[in-house]
A = this chain, B = another copy of it.
Amino acid sequence: MTDPLPQGATIGILGGGQLGRMLSVAAARLGFRTHIFEPGANPPAGDVAHAVTTARYEDETALQAFAASVDVITYEFENIPTQALDLLEAHRPIRPGREALRISQDRLTEKTFLRDLGLQTAPFADITDLASLEAAIAEIGTPAILKTRRFGYDGKGQARLQAPADAEMALADMAGAPAILEGFVDFSHEVSIIAARGLDGQVACFDPGENVHESGILRTTTVPAQLTSAQKTDAVLLAANILNRLDYVGVMGVELFVTPQGLIVNEIAPRVHNSGHWTQNGCTVDQFEQHIRAVAGWPLGDGQRYADVVMENLIGDDMDRVPDLARERDVALHLYGKSEVKQGRKMGHVNRITRAT
């Protein structure tokens, strides 16, 4: 299928969280239906989807029925079991494609891919046992951070080493999982660039946003970011480099550390990204519609920004602030309809328009 997806076609989305929810709304805006596949009950995306399948990724019958009911498949998170992808791909195109998933599912593969592209990354080493960890510490130094190669998210599966003596304890934290040691980067701030590539190879980037994290979770993204014109150009070029090499179709989030030695790629996410939520109130075509356009084989929006925006995540008890936020003139609320408030859980976000441009 390379023709543009017609009105009324169905886009299958793996994962029913807030990203799937906002993708679903964007798909509807373009006249598409969505079908959500999600193991958890009552997924946030289910409230705005045409159909929902509640099943595990090991349920082949459910996967097959899901694939048969949709025209193309995309996803809101990268850690989808390989066997499920194999089965789905036999029936329908998966966009973005498998290579992007393979790379982003494994921190070591990802870092190696980026380095081989000529991009800067933090120093890193493959860790298989205590000996390889000690050798890596000798080379990279401390402080450093030990991470599982797979299934990391929002700061989970990570152990910080303040000194070489922490090696054994940090390795125990990995519980035997393959790991990667990453050296610290001396950066002034973190930005991310949300880039998209269409089925025809067209690339479009949104303006980079500047990210602030708290406890390993994104707190705010501010556009415009503090970047020189040359740094912005670098960000666009390196994102295009990554997308083109992967023959990528869809939106990708690329996190970057800003240093005197240039931009260092922290990580890539082959999907819409929390740091791109500001586009909902800053661009005519936001990151969710951009992703749907790419996946559907439609022309991309150009990423033009028409406002300065601060996106702030509403995490856990931040929901208590909603009544006050609802009274602020330039605040756009985006709540996810999650039934239970939990500490550290992303419940919604606001986009505060600070200036029309």
Contacts and interface: CB of A to CB of B under 8 A. Distances in A.
A356 interface: yes
Size class of A's contact patch? 35 or more
A99 interface: no
A306 B47 contact: no
Contacts of A356: 306-307, 356-357
Interface in A274-310: 281, 284-285, 293, 298-299, 301-302, 304, 306-307
A319 interface: yes
B47 A335 contact: no
A8 B327 contact: no
Contacts of A353: 284, 306
Nearest to A298: B326
Interface string A19-53: 00100110011111110000000000011111000
A333 interface: yes
A355 to B, nearest CB: 10
B306 A329 contact: no
Contact of A48 (B28, B284, B323, B332): B28
A228 interface: no
Contacts of A28: 21, 25, 47-48, 337
Given A50-B47, A335-B30, A357-B356, A326 B299 contact: yes
Contacts of A343: none
A154 interface: no
Contacts of A334: 29
Contacts of A25: 25, 28-29, 48
Given A284-B281, A353-B306, A356-B356, A333 B29 contact: yes
Interface of A: 4, 7-8, 21, 24-25, 28-34, 46-50, 281, 284-285, 293, 298-299, 301-302, 304, 306-307, 319, 322-323, 326-327, 329-337, 339, 348, 353, 356-357
Given A25-B25, A299-B326, 17 more contacts: A7-B335, A24-B48, A28-B48, A30-B335, A32-B337, A33-B337, A48-B48, A48-B49, A284-B330, A285-B332, A293-B326, A301-B329, A302-B329, A304-B329, A304-B330, A307-B356, A356-B357
9 contacts: A8-B337, A25-B29, A28-B48, A46-B50, A48-B48, A284-B332, A299-B327, A356-B356, A356-B357
Those 10 A-B pairs whose CB atoms lie nearest each other, nearest first: A31-B335, A48-B48, A47-B50, A31-B337, A299-B327, A28-B48, A306-B356, A284-B332, A356-B356, A299-B326
